[in-house]
Structure 1
Amino acid sequence: MPPSDDAPVRTRDAPTPSGPDSFTAHLWQASLPIHERILGHPFLAGLTAGTLPDEVFRRYVVQDSHYLKGFARALALAAGRATDDEDVVFLATAGAEAITVEHELHASFISAFGMSPADVDDTPRNPTTTAYVDFMLAHTAAGRYPEALAAVLACFWIYREVGRELVAEGSPVPRYQRWIDTYASDEFSAQVDRLLEIVDRHAATLGDEGRNRFAQIWLQGCRYEWRFWDAAFHDETWPV
């Protein structure tokens, strides 16, 4: 059950490279109730208002560092399952860039909090981070190629749309503004559009069962994205 302290929601349709009748457009429509909850979450509201406590953002950055390492591995596994050379190059490059983000964007945040990379490594992954990473790795390692694409799609697409929403408001806190600008950038948006084009191309080869399976995995990824911010906000830990 979502927390009762969510802020008022904001949402809009997300354009897709293949148009309003594409498979990805239908995926986005199916995810709108989750996306609305994401945009209304107090974590994101605190970023733009500048009121998010440093400790909450620190928890998020540490867990995101753990997550991005798993995400990079998931992209590498997805690249290994790709059937098109261009897809292999895109996914493998995206995996390498995920590691670059972890080292460049997060390193400055972690240093500002007086932490070292060793401190981050010594901090356990919380339940949500563990579950989300395992979810991605399971589908990219053992699923068919479309299922691998579905498992990594939410991190790209949700963050792009969150960045687009938040950049219009901005943040008075420089580190929060830098985070927003990263995901609102034209470079990141072009990367997302490329992945959406790949998804639409492969969706054309799937039957109804395959498309339904893809949508189920995509929606589960969206739910994990909501939980990731919520876990940091509420200091989720292992109960035992």
Structure 2
Amino acid sequence: MSWSTDVRRAAQPVVDEILAHPFLRGLADGTLDPEVFDRYLLDDSAYLGEYARALASCASRLPGGPGVTQLAAAAIGAADAERLLHAQMLGERGIGPDDLAAHVPTPTCTAYVSWLLRAAALEPVEVGVAAVLPCFRVYLDVGLACERLVPADGRYRTWVQAYAADAFAEAVTQAERLADDLADAASPGVRAAMGAAYLRSARYEYLFWDAAWRGDAWPCPDVQPPIL
């Protein structure tokens, strides 16, 4: 059994909690409050730019071979394809570039991307790859689960179909194969650290959905730093 299969099994209770979350249930049946979805899209747009940086950081640290090209392509895909999807959906809601620029990432978003960037830059590259992997796998699981439930005229069908698409599934498979290759060559200690990193990121995925649902925000008013 592969490393990615084992770690996915270990993370399944977290994924089950994600799929049972009212945000995801509302996303599937179209009852999710549009304001909640807009909060999510704004925060996810901020997240995607930093996620692409984490992917690129991992790619730069890999030994030569197809893994470098694969992760670099994934970084471009995360930065471009998903950004286009977000721009389309935000544009349909009257939310433009100025709104994106003004958005302050939530504490949850900030914590998640900080963890990913640290893992990608400072941990062994195997651990960095494991840390970025749940964003691939969880979104595929969510897309496939929601696709089975979303009505043909569902409000969020465009979003669901993007993450249930065959092309996205293939990208997930490639990323998991890379992680498996790295795990196969890693020491027991690094493999254990890979598993811990994967599970931490899976928990952050749950927190990200929940943050949008709760209206997560910084506890103090946003202030501008002084001009010195």
What TM bracket, shorter-length normalisation? Answer: over 0.9
- Pick from 144, 153, 166 the counterpart of residue 186 of structure 1: 166
Deviates more, 1:164-173 or 1:116-125: 164-173
Are 2:77 and 1:104 aligned? no
Aligned position for 2:38: 58
Per the alignment, do residues 100 and 174 of structure 1 end up closer, same or farther by CA in structure 2, a change over 3 Å counting?
farther
- Structure 2: distance between partners of 1:205 and 1:174: 45
Aligned position for 1:148: 128
Pairwise CA distance, 1:233:
0.5
Per the alignment, do residues 84 and 171 of structure 1 end up closer, same or farther by CA in structure 2, a change over 3 Å counting?
farther
Aligned position for 1:26: 6
Deviates more, 1:156-165 or 1:50-59: 156-165
- Structure 2: distance between partners of 1:217 and 1:55: 32
Aligned structure 1 segments of 4 or more residues deviating by more than 3 angstroms: 171-175
Pairwise CA distance, 1:173:
5.2
Across the aligned residues of Structure 1 and Structure 2, the Cα RMSD in angstroms comes to: 1.2
Are 2:84 and 1:78 aligned? no
Q: Please report the TM-score for the alignment, with normalisation by the length of structure 2.
A: 0.93
Are 2:142 and 1:162 aligned? yes
Aligned position for 2:179: 199
Q: Which has the higher contact order (CA 8 A, sep 6+)?
A: 2
Aligned position for 1:6: none
2:30–2:150 contact (8 Å) kept in structure 1 = no
Aligned position for 1:11: none
1:47–1:171 contact (8 Å) kept in structure 2 = no
5+ residue gaps, structure 2: 221-228
| Matched residue SS, 1:204 | helix
2:30–2:154 contact (8 Å) kept in structure 1 = no
5+ residue gaps, structure 1: 1-20
- Structure 2: distance between partners of 1:84 and 1:184: 31
Pairwise CA distance, 1:169:
1.1
